[in-house]
Amino acid sequence: MPKKSKVDERIDKLFEGFHPEENAPIVKIKPKVEELKPRLPNQKSIWQSSDPIPASKPTYNTMIIAAILATILVLATSLVFLRFRNIPLLPDKIIPAQPSTSTTLLSNAAVPSSASPAKPILPLALTQITSRPTLTPTFLPTLTSTAIGGCNGVTEIPLPECTALVALYKSTDGDNWINKLGWLVTTKPCSWFGVICSNSHVTGLYLSSNALNGSITPELGNLSFLTILRLNYNQLSGSIPPEIGRLTDLTNILLFGNRLSGSIPPELGKLPTLTLLSLGGNELIGSIPPEIGNLTNLTGLYLYSNQLSGNIPPELGKLRNLTGLYLYSNQLSGSIPTELSGMTALNLLSLENNFLSGNIPSALGQLINLTGVNLSFNKLSGSIPPEIGQLVNLTSLSLAGNQLSGSIPHELGGLTNLTSLSLNLNQLSEDIPSEFSNLTKLTDLYLDGNLISGPVPESMHNIVGLTNFYYPSTICLPNTTDFLEWISAVNHSHDILCP
């Protein structure tokens, strides 16, 4: 027998005990050709034989094959183990972390190539990031730069609507908004902060108090299904785009509390479903467009605290559903149109701090739903119309700071729901009507700065809730115990007693 080589000795030692029933040494022999032939159908399988299986001597090739199989088995087991442990098989495809203090859900967002080389995130499930399936993360840090940058990949809403949103974001310094969640990061505009959708269209923009700084873009006119536009309390400047007049489904426009300038676009009068128009607290100039009178569904018109000039359009009298008209703190001039008596649903009329002149229209007495009227600090003249006494639902009436003259109408004593009456700083004369004692709900009564004289009606001590009562020095107080006890508990002008 030839002497074994060192390789044979190692193989013998490796397979020692491989066939414990036979201690014969392993001899390398080539398999016979017959052993390589496939088994014929009529040959009996060794699994069908009842005879014991004869032990065979392992050959060198057999051992090599066994070693290879064992290696493959170990590798396969390792791969399965790694997969179940969620350890990435392609570490070069790991998505690097983006520096941020918060995390947001990845929603088909592209990862910028300039991502920080910080410690990588171990992905859990990777989708549409590489061309072959690997694991991708469920969460990624908030992207600090625009991920989609526009409307690429957006199918949730029509392209013109998406373009309008992107234009608004860019023109109002969207990167510095207080809340910009989702904007230009995901391809789902309906999930962007402040965007409301219905039936695959943008129907609402709620971006109040969100630090929008810049101009309102005309592209907003492409949001054809928009019903609510709320951009109030921001730092918007520039003019109001006339293209908003194309949004015929609008019901609410709230732009108050900005720095908008220019004139009010007459195109706003083409919005038949508009119920609320609030442009107050801006720097708007020019006149109030008479086309506003076409908004017959309007319930609230807020144009206060601007620099509007010219006359109050009589066409506003067609707004029969209007409940609140707020034109105060402008530079409006001319007379108060008698046509305003057509606003039969009006609750609040606020025209103070303007340059209005002429008489107070007696037709205002027809607006029986009024609860508050403020015409103070204008240049109104003439007498107070007694028809004002018909406004029995009034709780507040202020005519202060005008040039009103004549006597105080006794009919005002019929306003029994009145809590505040301001007639001060006029040229009213004669005495205080005794009917004022019927105003038992009064808390504030201002008559100072007039020419009225005589005693305060003694019966006024029945107004037990009166807190402030101011009158000119030409008025005297009844010298009775009940009255003096009452007036001592009220903030009043002086204690000059009647003779």
Residue 316 and residue 300 in contact, taking contact as beta carbons nearer than 8 Å: no
The per-residue pLDDT for 72 is 80
Q: What is the pTM of this model?
A: 0.71
Query: What does DSSP assign to residue 242?
Result: G
CATH class of the structural domain 159-462: alpha beta
pLDDT at 292: 98
Q: Which residues 6+ apart lie within 8 Å of 42 measured at CB? A: none
Cβ atoms < 10 Å from Cβ of 208: 16
Strands (E), 36-194: 103-105, 139-141
Q: In the prediction, which pLDDT does 116 show?
A: 36
Q: Where are the domains of the chain?
A: 1-37+59-85, 159-462
Tokens read off for 376: 């103070």
DSSP 353-415: SSEEEEPPPGGGGG-TT--EEE--SSEEEEPPPGGGGG-TT-SEEE--SSEEEEEPPGGGGG-
Averages of pLDDT over each 10 residues, the chain, 499 residues:
52 47 39 41 39 48 74 71 48 36 33 35 32 34 47 93 96 97 94 96 98 98 98 98 97 98 98 98 98 98 98 98 98 98 97 98 97 98 98 98 98 97 98 96 98 96 96 96 95 95
Q: State residue 75's pLDDT score.
A: 77
